[in-house]
Structure 1
Amino acid sequence: MTATAQLPFRQRHPLHSPDQLLALQDTGPIHKVLTAVGDEAWLVTGYTLVRRLMDDERLGRTHRDPANAPRSRTSALFGGPIGDFDSEPADHARMRQLLQPHFGPRHMRTLQPKVEGLCAALLDDMERQGQPADLLTSVAQPLPILVICDLLGVPYDHRDRFRAWVDDAAFSPDDDVSLKGLEHLLGYGMELVTAKRANPDDDVISRLCDEPDLADFEIATLAMQLLFAGHETTVTQIWVGSLILLTNPVQWQTLLADPDMIPKAVEEILRAGMTGGVGVPRYARADIDADGVTIREGDLVLLDPGAANHDREFFADPDRVDLTRTGAAHVGFGYGLHYCLGAALARLELKTVYSQLIPRFPALQLSADPATMTAGFHSLSHGLVALPVTW
């Protein structure tokens, strides 16, 4: 099969799936494409197949020949293989076992008052500074960083340092800059581990330091992965979710009148807000039959949860935001083996934002055209534009 398209797809509206992706989805659930750097990959868009492959142990983040592996982008953090091929299954299971207690529902319940307080303080500041305001810089960016810093024990005052390194490591088109950003990020992680060993506190990094079988570099790597994952994706989720509600004033008023609907609304916002065209990179550890297509060992596979969440076979009228939708569960947090450890934390932050934002600013209105807001939609929160509002 030859490549039928090249990523990234042009997106004309932040809440609409790219036209090129829609055309691909009409032809089947899996497609040979070229990545942004010109390497071949399999883009998986069908709900059933995406879910099945998310739970397939024959897919992972490592590669037997990493130097020659196909790449999804230039990024040192995301573009190519990560980890050791031979030990990946054991390493992945161990990592999840270590981190699960820190991100489970029980711990999230103890964290809830802190998140609510942080969110309320941000909204206080937004109201005090007056309108117009930017929801991106007032809420969507600072809240997830405040929360993950508090959870990990990372000084919030260091946010400008690590955000700059994250931007370089994850998003720079320059290989050298991206690699240098990753080196700085890991070096910073080692500084934190040293500080926590000397002065432990009640935070995730300190508790990881108590694990007898974890080396300092392993802890630093885990901490920096959590620092990145704990804020980058949630920034986008808050941004997109707010845009969805602001462009659907009837639904805004529905949640104002019935706040008990907010948890269910969050799930629909997570489904609808992922419009597709951005695949989660995995490498085949063995040959895999995928609906009659043979994925060869070493192939790059891009699992697209956004496309899956808009699969018409499972989600009727998928572009419509329906806060009462029932049926198939979205795969915005993955599925099975690679289900996101931070799902409960992201849900807590989203529910907190909408539970406070909507009653606090019942007449909140968007003051810009959403069609002009497509800049940052191929690299998580990097490049997101302002979300100007008045009330």
Structure 2
Amino acid sequence: MIKTQTPTGDPAWLATDHAEVRRLLADERLGRSHPEPATAARTGASALFGGPSGNFETEHADHARMRSLLQPHFSPKRMRALRPRIQALTTELLDKLTPPTDLHAELALPLPILVICELLGVPYEDRDQFRQWTQDAANTVDGTRSQQGLAALFGYGHELVAKKRANPQDDVISQLAATEGVTDYEAATLSMTLLFAGHETTVMQIGKGAMLLLDNPDQWQALVDDPSLVPNAVEEILRAPRAYANKGGGIPRYARTEMQVGDATIHQGDLVLLSITAANEDPAVFPDPERVDVTRQTSAHLAFGHSIRYCLGAPLARIELTEVFTQLVTRFPTMRLAVSSDDLVFNTDTLGSGLTALPVTW
């Protein structure tokens, strides 16, 4: 455990060792809430993750309720049933590609939005508007912009819930709205959280994964020669060597009580950053971690977290990534970057720091 400072200048503890990060992800003495939110250390201006969230007294119960409401909608079985539709959507998008093209704009961005819209019951024609709100909400440097984006996104969620109550359909928002005991506020909050998380991270991973593979032509060729390696390559993409990974300090947690971690005495309210990036580069777990290797056994990576906060959308993300890269390597075996990887631009003002464009040709 290392003493550090966040970009806002606040003190924090940083965990980087794989075993330690994994253990702390499962430690219920850490949470997202804070006993005195106004005085809590922050990582940035984002209204989503820049500081504490939730009620300190009820956090564990609230989190358990959220997972119990959402888990049935994201079970592996239900996600597998979506695979044919995800396959068809991917095919439709790839059918439109002509070289050169921006793989971010033509595939990485629209596919996850199409999928999450169909799953939740969000009108796809609203994508430009809610995409802007999610980008604003995720802004890490402009607090006002982040607050306004978040408020607009949740206002939109309330409108959707009202429409689903009046005209229910076969989608997640309708089912949440029809669940006994779920208020409009709760249904809107859960739905918009899913809308944000359900597309933003997958957009980022498709773009970074394509960049990673195309910047390592031997690894791209390995998949071209043997597409059965794609599921394994997806895990390597998720592990993401540092050169291709989000440079953020780590997942923020706050100590709910005083606790000892190694030689560090962490006091209640202290900010603890769990660096998934560093953990996924631990040479004790991943030999030669800087090397991209699509044959690497990477099941121990922590890209989706661990334990009580393990990402509910992990099965969906894996299906989308597997379908994308299976079709890319089989349909476009000669694809390559149209610019140097050094010239690619990342949006460093938002959570995740995804690519702004990915020019490719073949």
Task: Give, in whole Å, the separation in 2 of the partners of 1:257 and 1:384.
Answer: 27
1:6 matched to which residue of 2? none
2:146 matched to which residue of 1? 178
Deviation digits for residues 353-389 of structure 1, max 9, x if unmatched? 0111111111001111112335335734556231111
Task: Give, in whole Å, the separation in 1 of the partners of 2:231 and 2:140.
Answer: 36
Task: Give, in whole Å, the separation in 1 of the partners of 2:246 and 2:93.
Answer: 30
2:109 to 108, 126, 141: 141
1:326 to 283, 297, 304: 297
What is the percentage of aligned positions where both structures have the same residue?
55
- SS of the aligned residue for 2:253 comes to strand
Task: Give, in whole Å, the separation in 2 of the partners of 1:273 and 1:194.
Answer: 44
1:219 to 173, 187, 206: 187
CA drift of 1:46 comes to: 0.8
Task: Give, in whole Å, the separation in 2 of the partners of 1:217 and 1:85.
Answer: 19
- Segment drifting more, 190-199 vs 33-42: 33-42
Task: Give, in whole Å, the separation in 2 of the partners of 1:155 and 1:381.
Answer: 25
1:70 matched to which residue of 2? 41
- Segment drifting more, 266-275 vs 219-228: 266-275
Question: Is the CA contact (8 Å cut-off) linking 1:115 and 1:352 kept in structure 2?
Answer: yes
1:347 matched to which residue of 2? 318
Task: Give, in whole Å, the separation in 1 of the partners of 2:4 and 2:341.
Answer: 28
CA drift of 1:43 comes to: 1.8
1:312 to 277, 283, 286: 283
Question: Is the CA contact (8 Å cut-off) linking 1:376 and 1:383 kept in structure 2?
Answer: yes
| 1:192 pairs with 2:192 | no
2:201 matched to which residue of 1? 233
CA drift of 1:75 comes to: 1.0
Q: Which amino acid aligns with 1:175?
A: G
1:37 matched to which residue of 2? 8
1:386 matched to which residue of 2? 357
Task: Give, in whole Å, the separation in 1 of the partners of 2:150 and 2:55.
Answer: 18
1:50 to 5, 16, 21: 21
- Segment drifting more, 367-376 vs 52-61: 367-376
CA drift of 1:114 comes to: 1.0
Question: Is the CA contact (8 Å cut-off) linking 2:12 and 2:270 kept in structure 1?
Answer: yes
Deviation digits for residues 67-87 of structure 1, max 9, x if unmatched? 111111011121111111111
1:242 to 210, 223, 230: 210
Question: Is the CA contact (8 Å cut-off) linking 1:100 and 1:341 kept in structure 2?
Answer: yes
The residue correspondences of 1:103-118 to structure 2 (distance < 5 A) are 103-118=74-89
Deviation digits for residues 198-239 of structure 1, max 9, x if unmatched? 111111111111211111101101111111101111111111
Task: Give, in whole Å, the separation in 2 of the partners of 1:280 and 1:166.
Answer: 19
2:221 matched to which residue of 1? 253
Relative to 1, partners in 2 of residues 1:328 and 1:156: Cα closer, same or farther, differing over 3 Å? closer
TM-score (norm 2): 0.95
CA drift of 1:95 comes to: 0.8
Task: Give, in whole Å, the separation in 2 of the partners of 1:327 and 1:176.
Answer: 39
Task: Give, in whole Å, the separation in 1 of the partners of 2:92 and 2:282.
Answer: 39
Q: Which amino acid aligns with 2:275?
A: D
Q: Which amino acid aligns with 1:277?
A: K
Task: Give, in whole Å, the separation in 2 of the partners of 1:382 and 1:218.
Answer: 29
| 1:366 pairs with 2:334 | no
Question: Is the CA contact (8 Å cut-off) linking 1:119 and 1:353 kept in structure 2?
Answer: yes
CA drift of 1:39 comes to: 1.1
Task: Give, in whole Å, the separation in 2 of the partners of 1:244 and 1:175.
Answer: 32
- Segment drifting more, 208-217 vs 366-375: 366-375
CA drift of 1:140 comes to: 0.7
- SS of the aligned residue for 1:231 comes to helix
Q: How many equivalent residue pairs?
A: 359
2:30 matched to which residue of 1? 59
Question: Is the CA contact (8 Å cut-off) linking 2:139 and 2:351 kept in structure 1?
Answer: no
Task: Give, in whole Å, the separation in 2 of the partners of 1:118 and 1:237.
Answer: 17
Question: Is the CA contact (8 Å cut-off) linking 2:276 and 2:303 kept in structure 1?
Answer: yes
Relative to 1, partners in 2 of residues 1:378 and 1:284: Cα closer, same or farther, differing over 3 Å? farther
Relative to 1, partners in 2 of residues 1:218 and 1:188: Cα closer, same or farther, differing over 3 Å? same
Task: Give, in whole Å, the separation in 2 of the partners of 1:382 and 1:160.
Answer: 19
Q: Which amino acid aligns with 2:183?
A: A
CA drift of 1:255 comes to: 1.4
- SS of the aligned residue for 1:116 comes to helix
TM-score (norm 1): 0.88
Question: Is the CA contact (8 Å cut-off) linking 1:277 and 1:304 kept in structure 2?
Answer: no
Question: Is the CA contact (8 Å cut-off) linking 2:139 and 2:145 kept in structure 1?
Answer: no
Question: Is the CA contact (8 Å cut-off) linking 1:169 and 1:179 kept in structure 2?
Answer: yes
Question: Is the CA contact (8 Å cut-off) linking 1:189 and 1:221 kept in structure 2?
Answer: yes
CA drift of 1:265 comes to: 1.4
